[in-house]
Amino acid sequence: MKIRSSLFAILTLAFMLMFTACHARNTAPLPEGPDYSQNRYWSIRAEKISHPVDVFFVHPTTYGPPANGHFIADLTDKMLNEVTDRDTVDWITAAFSGSCNIFAPRYRQVNIAVMKIGEAEKKRYMETPVSDIKTAFKYYLDNLNDGRPFLLASHSQGSNVMQLVLLDNPDLLDHDKLVAAYMPGWTFTDKDLDELGLELSESPDQTGCLITWNTIGPGGISPTVSEGAKCVNPLSWNTSKKEFPASMNAGAKIFISPEKTLEVKHFTSARINNEGALEIPTPPENIAKQLNMSLGKEVYHRYDYDFFFHNVAQNVKKRCEAYLNKK
């Protein structure tokens, strides 16, 4: 029995070493890091300051598979930058641009394939985007903000990265200047909120709070919803678990392709379910068949902002006004 156990241990170790070596051979060198004093390392860097409030926006994953060993995005990849700007950064920040000056850094995001590897390996890869966004946020505060109040905004990987930056560097965030933090597409727990020193939104004009949600349909299982996930309903802007009607939906603005957008007033109702996800009814078939469902059936992660686009835009305006009226 001892011989069999020893043989099993030796074979297991050999397999692990072989896997590690193979993985190392297929992993590309780390791409060069950003210099945020240069405009080319910003998707948007407001040159004309036309609002009394800024937003610092961290975009979601736009670097998809196959990774082919390149698990960290190269910031000199012009096509990736163009698609990121056009299909994601410009799209989401349009909900904020009516009220805020936009500052959206580029960063060495991880490929979506990283989300499928082991936690230890994932943590190692995440060090790069976290380092970039920490540097970008510090540069923004020291050189671009000029003392203005600001919002934080993000989605998906961007929310995860910003969460890690703030958890690891709590002194970076000036709570007195924070209007609100819109960070959907990732899990925030009570422990996270306590360590961040932030409360969830409980009213549409509350300031200094955090707003997060993860959109699914009936039976949807989202990989971004973990145990203990908290949620704010973007129809009511509170944590009530009652269902709020589609009549409260000011309008969806749904990205289908660079050439096609769907604008749908009163698009959907929404409620917070027992797992802390934002649950909506399955969209009408004529719309559902056009959606990107890459994360699984009834997982509307890609559309966290889209389905509530005009509610977000209206709410950003309301919170900015509430903050400025207090000063």
Q: Are 217 and 281 in contact (CB under 8 A)?
A: yes
Q: How is residue 137 written in tokens?
A: 């946020």
52 has a pLDDT exceeding 60? yes
Cβ contacts of residue 236 below 8 Å, gap of 6+? 204, 244, 248
List the structure tokens of 196. Answer: 């961040």
Q: How far is residue 326's CA from residue 176's CA, in Å, rounded to a whole number?
A: 11
Residues 6+ apart with CB under 8 A from 144: 45, 46, 54, 103
Q: For 108-164, what is each residue's pLDDT tens digit?
A: 999 999 987 888 888 999 999 999 999 999 999 999 999 999 999 999 999 999 999
Whether the predicted pLDDT of 53 surpasses 90: yes
Q: What is the mean pLDDT of the chain?
A: 92
Question: Distance (Å, rounded) from C-alpha 264 to C-alpha 277?
Answer: 22
pLDDT digits (tens, 9 = 90+) for 208-258: 999 999 999 999 999 999 999 999 999 999 999 999 999 999 999 999 999
> What distance in Å separates the CA atoms of residue 111 and residue 157, rounded to the nearest whole number?
10
pTM for the model: 0.91
Amino acid in the structure at residue 254 = I
> What's the rounded mean pLDDT across residues 76-80?
96
pLDDT reported for residue 27: 59
How would residue 66 be classed by pLDDT, with cut points 50, 70 and 90? confident
**Collapsed DSSP state (helix, strand, coil) of residue 31:** coil
Q: What percent of the chain has pLDDT over 70?
A: 92
Percentage of the chain modeled with pLDDT above 90: 86
Give the model's pLDDT for residue 257.
96
Q: How far apart are CA 103 and CA 154, in angstroms?
A: 12
The pLDDT tens digits of the residues spanning 32-45 come to 999 999 999 999 99
13-17, 95-99, 221-225: the lowest-pLDDT one: 13-17
Q: How far apart are CA 307 and CA 251, in angstroms?
A: 7
Nearest to 57 by CA among 28, 84, 83: 84
